[in-house]
Amino acid sequence: MTVVQDQLDATFTALADPTRRAIVARLARGDATVTELAAPFDLTLPGISKHLKVLERCGLISRTRRAQFRPCHLEAGVLDPAAAWIEDNRRVWTQRFDKLDAHLRDLQGAPNERNDQ
Amino acid sequence: MNDPTAPAAELVFTRAFEAPRELVFQCMTQPEHLTHFWGPAGTSAPIELITVDARPGGAFETVMINDADGSRYPTRAVFDEIVEPERLVWTETHSGMTVTVSFTDLGGSRTGVEIRQVRVPEAFRSPEAQAGFLTSLDRFAGYLATLTAGPGAEESR
């Protein structure tokens, strides 16, 4: 039970960093080596390794033990609870805002469909 | 404990409304308004179950009721800050999540509303908060399943 919460927390924290989000986005397109991952960023290999360790620790990525290349692999399933939570949250606020918009129109006597100005 | 370098994941939603800022602020802080929109599609938020004690430390409590099966989803929060008509900040007691609502006057009787939600990691570490958050996750999952279950789910008014 706590494990799930810790996982969600770790996932959110890991993804709070823009570089790590970019790494995850890159890995969503396919496995990549550390060198390939470092290329788009102005980062040293140790720098990128630090980010990879954070992602690895929370289970978002895995690395095969294959020689020096050790391609990184995105464990996309780990993202599911976080993505679901975000999506739920977004839906709630979107629907609230839709209703608030309608309510404000009612309050102000619903001016005839003049949305664009 | 409170590591300033620890990144806090944020969720931000914005929307512009065709109404003056004072009115939009009132809508977010008065039960007679909140009851009209607080419950997302397929739910209602009865006015008698809404508590708004609009002062720092005051309670902000709502209950969303599923129109289809009557299940209830209470949310309890405590206001951290009230700056009429600019800003509202509350923290949910079950999740530890802090929600900041900013109201911006866009001119021409239009108002921008930004919802910024920050998870507070320390708060999540208490077993109580963790259990509460999971419960609310489960509830939301079940609630959303009912929302998307059948046709006509989107005809909310």
Rounded Cα distance between B59 and B66, Å, is 23
N- to C-terminal Cα distance for chain A? 51
Per-residue model confidence (pLDDT) at position B21: 95
Q: Across the interface, do A9 and B131 touch by the CB < 8 Å criterion?
A: no
- Please report the beta strands in A1-117, taking only residues with DSSP state E, as ranges in sequence order: 61-63, 72-74
- pTM, to two decimals: 0.65
Residue A9 has pLDDT above 90, yes or no: no
- pLDDT at position A110: 63
CB proximity A69 to B under 8 Å = no
C-alpha torsion B138→B156→B25→B136, nearest 10 = 0
Yes or no, beta carbons of B11 and A17 under 8 Å apart? no
In this predicted complex, what is the ipTM? 0.70
CATH of A2-76, one of 3.40.1410.10, 1.10.10.10, 3.90.1150.10, 2.40.340.10: 1.10.10.10
Query: How is residue B53 written in tokens?
Result: 């004690």
- Among residues B66, B61, B26, the alpha carbon closest in space to that of B47 is found at B61
Q: Which residue has the higher pLDDT, B55 or A116?
A: B55
The string of pLDDT tens digits covering residues B21-54 is 999 999 999 999 999 999 998 999 999 999 999 9
Going by pLDDT thresholds of 50, 70 and 90, the confidence category of residue A44 is confident
| Interface with chain A: mutation pick from B119, B147, B155, highest number of A CBs within 10 Å | B119
Which phi and psi (to 5°) does residue B124 adopt? -75, -15
User: In this model, does residue B131 exceed pLDDT 70?
Assistant: no
Nearest to A13 among B15, B108, B121 (CB): B121
CA gap B115, B99 in Å, rounded = 7
Backbone angles phi, psi at B37, to 5 degrees: -140, -10
Residue B147 has pLDDT above 50, yes or no: no
Q: Residue A12 — very low, low, confident or very high, per pLDDT cuts 50/70/90?
A: confident
pLDDT of B124 over the 50 cut: no
Is the confidence at residue B153, as pLDDT, over 50? Answer: no
Q: How would residue A30 be classed by pLDDT, with cut points 50, 70 and 90? A: confident
| B28 exposure class (CB count in 10 Å sphere: 0-12, 13-18, 19+) | buried
The pLDDT, as a whole number, for residue B154 is 38
Neighbours of B150 (CB within 10 A): 8
Task: Check residues B46 and B6 and name the one with the higher pLDDT.
Answer: B46
CA distance linking residue B157 with residue B153, whole number of Å: 11
The residue-averaged pLDDT of B3-29 equals 77
Q: How many CB pairs under 8 A join A and B?
A: 93
Peptide bond before residue B85 is cis, with ω within 30 degrees of 0: yes
Concatenate the DSSP letters of all residues of B36-98 into one string: HHSS-TTEE--GGG-EE--STT-EEEEEEEETTT--EEEEEEEEEEEETTTEEEEEETTT--E
- Are B50 and B38 spatial neighbours (Cβ–Cβ below 8 Å)? yes
For chain B, domains (ranges, CATH) are: 10-146 (3.30.530.20)
State the average pLDDT over residues A83-102.
87
SS3 A93: helix
